[in-house]
Amino acid sequence: MEISKYFELNLVIASLFGVIWIISGLILNIFQFLIYITVRPISPYVYRKINYYLIYSSWSQVVALAEYWAGCTLTVHFADKESANCLGTEHSIVLMNHKYEVDWLFSWILSDNFRILGSAKGFAKKEIRYLPVIGWGWFFCEMIFVSRQWEKDSQHLGPSVTRLMEYDDVVTLLIFAEGTRYTKEKYENSVTYCKDKGLDILEHHLYPRSRGFVYTINKLKDKLPAIYNIQIAFRKEDPPPTLTSILRRQPLHGYMYIQRVPMKNIPKESDEQISNFLLDVYKQKDQLTNYFNEHGKFPGEPPIVLKRRLAPLVQTLFWSFSVIALLIYFIYYLITSKSYILLTVTCLVISLGFISFLVLVRSTKTKKGSSYGTTSQAQTKKSL
């Protein structure tokens, strides 16, 4: 079989997984809605416990796609033993670079390995909350949605981040402080902005937007034990780190550097000190990128290749058999009952699920990413 046909066949098969994931996600959304209106008003604790497993059931399928379908692996370099021992045992903020289409997915692989995927949190554009499966699931699991307009976001950001500290399960709050995924155009605009403002120019990253980070630290400095500086990279000789590569069964090998920074070591006497700390973290990220480009690895403790867990595979197999069996039974029932209108509607829904998954894949591509930061005006907006 020709390589191009092989890749296209894998893409079609993986897209079938996408349909199953979307249908299972809609079913899980229904359960989330039901406990949201019944359990949450009575006991937020019980609601969050149940929702932890519901959201894990959805997200773990994507982890299984990467690990068991594409054969992706993740090698972790901890800065020191403290970082290795504490990760996954405490509430924390994670500062991560945002350069690749699949950096979020590899953060999920890391979270799953440390048993904290179901309570992983982050910031997302408010428009996403209206999307079925992902957006609805994120809404029910109390993700923080932002409009990127500080006047609006500052009104609800404080209660939102404080609420996360009420979780009994370990919560990691992922922050992409660059505000948007790295592209050449956005980097050039970031450099122009820094030159105009007399700011330090980063070599491999966009200049970090500090306002949201400063606000979050001020709100959580007495409740949060640490933040983690995580840097992810991929070797240039490997397949491109894209979701399309994963769907085509091209194994990706990600590398992560993880450093724990205790909250007590972060200067917090003023907003300027916190902002300068964030910039220092990104200067360190530049140094880490240079080190990786030169050595093909990160410094620190001996590397650890994370072992795959069976839980994501079990979730995927369960939903695959359940959804396929449900669809076969439903279609058979419609054919035998001669409900051709409902049969047509069912086929359309399946087709829409297939198309929706392909659209989702397309939207993760770097060139299709947010326009946030592509103009010099965007850099001067009062945003997160």
Q: What is the pLDDT of residues 162-196, one digit of tens each?
A: 888 889 899 999 999 998 889 899 999 999 999 99
CB atoms within 10 A of CB 355: 13
Find the range with the poorest average confidence among 82-91, 143-152, 230-239. 143-152
Summarize pLDDT for 15-24 with one digit per residue, the tens.
788 888 988 9
Domain annotation covers residue 321: no
What CATH number did the domain enclosing 182 receive?
Answer: 3.40.1130
Inside any domain, residue 51? yes
Q: Quick check: is 352 in a domain?
A: no
Asked if residue 46 is part of any domain, the answer here is yes
Q: Which residue type is seen at 163?
A: R
Does the pLDDT value for residue 74 go beyond 50?
A: yes
Digit-coded pLDDT (tens) for 353-366: 666 566 565 555 55
User: Does 365 fall in a domain?
Assistant: yes
Number of domains in the chain: 1
Exposure letters 166-199 (e unless 16+ CB within 10 A, then b) = ebeebbbbbbbbbbbbbbeebbebbbebbeeeee
**pLDDT recorded at residue 350:** 66
Bridge partners of 123? 144
Q: Is the pLDDT of residue 349 over 70?
A: no
Whole domain around residue 17: which residue ranges? 3-313+357-380
Using alpha carbons, list the distances in angstroms from residue 266 to 156, 257, 295, 374: 25, 19, 30, 31
Query: Is pLDDT of 377 > 70?
Result: no
In a domain, 301, yes or no: yes
**What is the end-to-end Cα distance of the chain in Å, rounded?**
49
Measured distance CA(29)–CA(36) in Å, rounded: 10
Q: Is residue 97 part of a domain?
A: yes
209 secondary structure, DSSP code: P
What is the rounded average pLDDT of the residues 300-328? 94
| Angle, CA 336 vertex, CA 332 and CA 340 arms, to 5° | 85
Q: Which of the four pLDDT bands, split at 50, 70 and 90, describes residue 1?
A: very low
Predicted TM-score (pTM) of the model is: 0.88
Q: Between 344 and 60, whose confidence is greater?
A: 60
Whether the predicted pLDDT of 328 surpasses 90: no
For the ranges 121-135, 297-311, 325-339, 346-360, the lowest mean pLDDT is seen at 346-360
| 347 domain-assigned | no
